[in-house]
Amino acid sequence: MTFPGLTWLKAPRADTAQTASVADTVSAVLAAVRERGDDAVRELSQRFDGVAPAALEVTREEREAAVARLDPQTRRDTEFAIGNVRAFAEAQLACLRPLDAEIIPGVHMGHRVIPIARVGAYVPGGRFPLLSAPVMTIVPAVVAGVREVVACLPPKAHEAMVAGCHLAGATRVFRIGGAQAIAAMAYGTRSVPRVDKIVGPGNAFVNEAKRQVFGPVGIDQLAGPSEIYVLADATGDAETIATDLLAQAEHDTRTRVGLITTHRPLAEAVIAEVERQLATLSTASVARPAWEAQGEVAVAEAEEAMIAYSDHVAAEHLQVHTADPHAFGARLSSYGSLFIGELASVVYSDKCSGTNHTLPTMAAGRYTGGLWVGSYVKVATHQWLTPEGVRAVAPPAARQSASEGLEGHRRAAQLRLDRLQAR
């Protein structure tokens, strides 16, 4: 690897690119569900998940029973996360206000903030029961005012995930996973209503399915493997940094983890500390391959090079461990979510602190942010004119239309002006 001002002590050696076989498999899944609905969903569930639920939808009674069976502390922790995510979403929504403005005399414009009518939330099962997953996709939708939130999770997902969907506020919950879940929500089946937008992360098949159905339905983003980068100077602590890198590495063998630092001794210490911790980490069977294949550690000649590379990577999770992390963080412009200072661990956001953990990957942080309450609303514009406004805008609109050869446009622009002048 090469980048101006950087020297790698450990470079990534694996390509996490999508394979053509995934796209082909997903295309077949989508076609089957579109053509045969619930029957195809059940067949595909049996094929990919090893189980075909007789009833695809989880009844309210089943959902309430799952909540009742939750370990009391798990329920309290889940409700703590829900409360924090809700509070932050409400604070964000308060920034989205209807607008009415008179741009020039007689020309009034504005916008409304309109909740999406029906949203589909994909809730991944993964290797572990990710209890925060339904919170992050469902709670902001409820805060935004979405009328119906449809949640899909794999048939073998832990019962606590069903409880999480219910506590988070899902309107309906279905035992459907993978690409077939995306297809069911995108096209609709006898059991599953067609949604207007699909949100939530998943595996490569889920991601590809979202890509292929986009257009007739909206999607939040295309999520790749999880990413964490740490930017540090000589004040960084090797144990803390290594711990945070491995916390993300245990998600998936394709997770990208990296340290960029201006202090070579810290870089060397982190590499050694990662190896030390891997020796006793219970999830090392996942974390080690991720570290060995995608892990990178680089030394920057100066802060400017560190910042430039960070903005190039646009990491999903970006931690700043420097002497003045707030000032340093203000110089960064491309990331999914920023964690300022050593005390701000990605894990806190992953689980319960309140910011959303569904974030852009694969450098998408260069042009978009993560999932938030604004992902569940439409900001739709409107305008209205007084006679004074028509007199201002009609002449240039008519002239532009004529110069473009659009006679119908010219007539529409001129008609109102002519009628006003005839009065």
The residues that are catalytic are 316-317
How would you classify the pairing of strands 57-58 and 317-321?
unpaired
Torsion sign (Cα): 28, 34, 36, 41: positive
Rounded Cα gap, residues 73 and 95, in angstroms: 34
Report the side by side order of strands in the sheet with 118-122: 57-58, 172-175, 148-153, 118-122, 197-199, 218-219
- What angle do the packed helices 238-249 and 264-278 form, to 10 degrees? 50
